């Protein structure tokens, strides 16, 4: 059963925040609350942000109280407790065994196996009392007569209420399975574990994180909240929240959160809902048209653009850490993704001599190399102007003591990737350029533009191979081996990377 949502509240003259939930009218008597008095639970903080973080957990606690009250306030439970209390008050033999906590009584009276035992047990005891006539003792008979006038109507009331509960429709409407429990089952299912679209560790972690963010916002809700008008309202409310809540979506390019970013977060929640539907937890598929709403609320996505040569020269000449200088030089000269360069190790920088020409290249074909997709397993030539940017072999001043084989010391996450390099790069870029279209990814756009100038020697398919994009959508692309590295090297030598030499790092001074 759906209950009112919790909101933040403060008591007059007190700085602490409270979770405030309006009590449904039918539960007031069971909770012993006066009309118009809400349920308040302290959040234990005066900080509004912390209070917001704790609000949904406290809401779940209040809702569990409502669940218990909803059961114990049912007329059948009230009738049973009234009869049991009356028999105990009048010291009727063995009646005390029927006096239990209302929660346990409620559970038993609506349980298909226990309900008849409970009903017949107290009915037989009450019937024994009603059948007693004092055994010829006038005084005992008068006492029993008074007890009869109390017990008999209570017994009749219990019988009437028990007969009403002949179908599930009369039982308290307990909440359906919780979304959090369905999500937990989903993560352990083959539907999640075998999903090829989220095989990468980071992608899977991001997926789970998106669901966790939704649960922290939505609270302890059950699956009934996703259907019909209630479900549409929940979807719209969450999308509205994501647009404005920087805890859920902390950063973005452009004026606001794009539709694709909203879609990515909602799609994770939708995955749990799809699992619930296939498992029969919910009768119909829900949130199927969420993209219509995200398109309405999302801002236009900002697409990165290429740098001009003047902008690249300005960026390389600007004050920055020498570590980011090398990072930018290698990204510009190879077309690699930023994290591919940030994770480089010396064993992936190889040399070869073919037809009397010695050259270097980056080898990302190893099984242990973490890449974005299968097409990213490739070899990238290092033309002389780019190779000249490298520090002496195995002597990178930017590596860390624990991993001297690496060129850079950017921290590596548990999925084998790094986002520290991306953040460092964007900090440097934003000091020079306010245009949100100029990003780390713009280096790859610039490289692709450069390859278009030599298409007579470097086909678009070969250029896609260098950048790690899919080569082509054809049966042919699945056969044969990679492009000859010397062929790619000769073509790339025609691209002008001479400006990289204007700001070479003096490694002897480091």
C-alpha–C-alpha distance, residues 269 and 206, integer Å: 12
C-alpha–C-alpha distance, residues 198 and 208, integer Å: 10
Residue 194, pLDDT score: 86
Residue 453, pLDDT score: 92
Residue 338, pLDDT score: 94
Q: Give per-residue pLDDT as tens, 385-433.
A: 999 999 999 999 999 888 999 999 999 877 677 889 999 999 999 999 9
C-alpha–C-alpha distance, residues 90 and 97, integer Å: 14
Which one, of 404, 322, 403, lies nearest residue 412 by Cα? 403
Residue 353, pLDDT score: 94
- The answer, as to whether pTM is greater than 0.75, is no
CA R_g for the chain: 35
Helix H or strand E encompassing 88? helix 75-89
Over 204-239, what HEC string results?
Answer: HHHHHHHHHHHHHHHCCCEHHHHCHHHHHHHHHHHH
Q: Map residue 43 onto helix, strand or coil.
A: coil
Which one, of 458, 429, 489, lies nearest residue 307 by Cα? 429
CB–CB of 49/56 below 8 Å?
no
Residue 170, pLDDT score: 46
Place of tokens 């049991």: 84
CA torsion angle for 461, 462, 466, 468 (degrees, to 10)?
20
CB–CB of 346/407 below 8 Å?
yes
Which residue positions in the chain have pLDDT lower than 50? 93-96, 167-170
C-alpha–C-alpha distance, residues 400 and 412, integer Å: 12
CB–CB of 211/268 below 8 Å?
yes
Distance separating the N- and C-terminal Cα atoms of the chain: 67
| Residue 356: other Cβ atoms inside 10 A | 5
C-alpha–C-alpha distance, residues 23 and 26, integer Å: 8
């Amino acid at each position: 059963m759906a209950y009112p949502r919790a909101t933040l509240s403060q008591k007059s003259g007190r700085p602490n925040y409270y979770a405030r939930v309006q009590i449904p009218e039918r539960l007031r008597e069971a909770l012993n609350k006066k009309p118009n008095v809400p349920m308040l639970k302290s959040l234990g903080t005066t900080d509004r942000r912390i209070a917001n973080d704790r609000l949904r957990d406290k809401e779940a606690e209040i809702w569990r109280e409502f669940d218990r009250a909803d059961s114990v306030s049912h007329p059948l439970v009230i009738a049973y407790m009234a009869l049991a209390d009356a028999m105990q008050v009048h010291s009727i033999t063995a009646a005390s065994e029927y006096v239990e906590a209302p929660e346990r009584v409620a559970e038993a009276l609506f349980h298909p196996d226990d309900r008849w035992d409970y009903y017949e047990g107290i009915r037989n005891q009450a019937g024994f009392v009603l059948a007693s006539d004092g055994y010829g003792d006038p005084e005992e008979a008068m006492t029993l007569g008074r007890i009869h006038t109390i017990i008999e109507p209570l017994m009749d009331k219990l019988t009437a209420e028990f007969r009403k509960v002949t179908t599930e429709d009369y039982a308290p409407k307990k909440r359906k399975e919780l979304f959090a429990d369905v999500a937990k089952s989903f993560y352990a299912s083959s539907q999640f574990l075998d999903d090829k679209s989220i095989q990468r560790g980071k992608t899977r972690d991001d997926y789970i994180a998106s669901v966790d963010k939704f649960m922290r916002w939505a609270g302890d809700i059950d699956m009934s909240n996703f259907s019909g008008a209630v479900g549409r309202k929940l979807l719209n409310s969450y999308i509205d929240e994501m647009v404005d809540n920087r805890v859920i979506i902390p950063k973005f390019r452009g004026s606001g959160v794009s539709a694709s970013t909203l879609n990515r977060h909602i799609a994770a929640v939708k995955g749990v809902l799809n699992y619930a539907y296939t498992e029969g937890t919910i009768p119909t598929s829900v949130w199927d048209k969420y993209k219509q709403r995200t398109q309405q609320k999302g801002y236009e996505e900002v697409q990165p653009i290429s740098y001009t040569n003047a902008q690249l020269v300005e960026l390389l000449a600007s004050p920055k850490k020498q570590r980011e200088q090398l990072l930018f030089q290698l990204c510009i000269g190879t077309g690699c993704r930023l994290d591919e360069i940030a994770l480089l190790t010396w064993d992936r920088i190889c040399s070869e001599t073919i037809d009397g020409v010695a050259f270097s290249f980056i080898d990302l074909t190893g099984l242990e190399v973490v890449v974005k997709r299968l097409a990213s397993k490739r070899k990238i030539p290092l033309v002389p102007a780019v190779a000249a940017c490298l520090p002496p072999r195995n002597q990178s001043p930017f590596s860390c003591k624990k991993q001297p084989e690496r060129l850079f010391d950017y921290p590596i996450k548990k999925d084998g990737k790094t986002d520290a390099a991306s953040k460092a790069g964007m900090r440097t870029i934003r000091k020079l350029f306010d245009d949100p279209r100029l990003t780390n990814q713009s280096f790859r756009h610039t490289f692709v533009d450069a390859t278009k100038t030599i298409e007579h020697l470097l086909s678009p398919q070969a250029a896609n191979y260098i950048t790690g994009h899919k080569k082509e959508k054809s049966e042919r692309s699945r056969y044969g081996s990679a492009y000859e590295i010397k062929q790619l090297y000769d073509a790339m030598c025609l691209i002008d990377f001479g400006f990289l030499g204007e700001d070479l790092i003096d490694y002897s001074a480091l």
